[in-house]
A and B are shown apart, each in its own frame.
Chain A
Amino acid sequence: MPFREINSKMVEAQVVPGQRMFSQRGAMLAYRGDVSFTPSLTGGQGGVMGMIGRRVANEQTPLMTVEGSGTVMFGHGGHHIQVINLTGETLYVEADRLLAFDGTLQQGTMFMGSQGGVMGMVRGQVSGQGLFTTTLKGHGSVAVMAHGGVIELPITPNRPVHVDPQAYVAHHGDVRNKLSTALGWRDMVGRGSGEAFQLELSGQGAVYVQASEEKL
């Protein structure tokens, strides 16, 4: 079920019987038809183990299940919304940036340390995003929030992309990420260019970058 973008800050989703979707709790703006919203204690799929996993990983954003038949409009905090359509690949995104997504997508959490080892963990700390990130896999649509507009940058094997950790929103594809530092003595004495840390993404896929260095 694709999301329809009403404007840059609102999306509309069709809900049909037998198919459910998840959204951040409280993100519904309006709806038509017969739709029910129930808090999702397990945070989507994965059952109790998934719930515990998310608790431990601190990647839990209160979610709700949206079911019934009708159309629902979503939006949150006046943030810019980017719709990403997945065709089998895995999307990596911070849980608090997720606005809504298809229930058919498989949810999981990934330990950042497993990509790039210790630097992967440092990455989470530097970017303030924690040690875990949420993954969504399968065929379906995801609505992701960002501060300001979002640009999509392709990553190809010969062209890695470097991203400011604060401006990073999400990425998909077969992508490795590592934290690269350009820390010189100038940064130590407080005369740096302000670009001491960068996230280097290489492989095949795409990265979404927001037009701002502010968190949500």
Chain B
Amino acid sequence: MAQFRLQGSKVLAVDLTGDAVKAKNGSMVAYDGQMAFKKMSGGGEGLRGMVTRRLTGEQMTVMEVQGHGTCFFADRASEINLVNLRGEKLYVESSNLLCTDAGLRTGTTFTGLRGASTGNGLFTTTVEGSGQAAIVSDGPAVVLRVSAQYPLSVDPGAYIAHTGNLQQSFQSGVTFRTLIGEGSGEAFQIRFEGEGLVYVQPSERNTVGGDI
């Protein structure tokens, strides 16, 4: 299986011995050995996946990299986080997904209101199976554990991914004060309950919530 390792915090090195990985289009910065790059239309999930992605707006341009040697990936100097999946499911925004083992299945899922508030749409990408994945974040991400006693609320703009059995609900603190422009600036949060891990970046995307 492809070996993922970090070279510094912003470059992902993948050692390949004839196997393959899926990576964001154009994210290769260097390689040694023999590599072949092939675009996979519609995120590489076949026709059905392609249609779903079109419909849900959760577009992903992915290439398959196959070869012998080491391939280096990076994305606009973003920090890279490695995730080890052992049969569980990773939920991640497609724009934060850098590279996955070719053996992992990707798909799309409905996120509910959270997507609308993050400005990422109503759908998110799922990665499932056993193997490694690399996600990017703006600044080093922290991994926060959610358990039955300790639910977690996250700013929609700082959320990047989660794993585990989590229910998410949308919290709004919009009041009369918000409407007259006296809001706290933290009008929306996503609340996670259950058992799992949430990846949070030290930066906030531009979201509707940020303006209120």
Contact = CB atoms under 8 A, between A and B. Distances in A.
Nearest to B71: A162
Interface string B57-71: 000010100000000
Contact of B77 (A186, A194, A210): A210
Interface stretch (B32-40, B48-56, B141-149, B185-193): B32-40
B32 A162 contact: yes
Given A193-B25, A209-B72, A214 B77 contact: yes
Contact of A151 (B8, B41, B63): B8
Given A193-B25, A193-B63, A211 B32 contact: no
Interface in A168-216: 182, 186, 191-195, 207, 209-214
B77 A207 contact: no
A192 B66 CA distance: 15
A163 B29 CA distance: 6
B9 to A, nearest CB: 7
A80 B33 CA distance: 28
A164 B74 CA distance: 11
B30 A209 contact: yes
A2 interface: no
Interface residues on B, range: 20 to 34
A194 B30 contact: no
B162 interface: no
A201 B76 CA distance: 23
B76 to A, nearest CB: 5
Interface centre among A167, A193, A209, A210 (most CB of B within 10 A): A193
Nearest to B34: A162
15 contacts: A149-B9, A153-B72, A160-B32, A161-B32, A163-B29, A163-B30, A164-B29, A167-B29, A167-B74, A193-B25, A193-B63, A194-B63, A212-B29, A212-B77, A213-B26
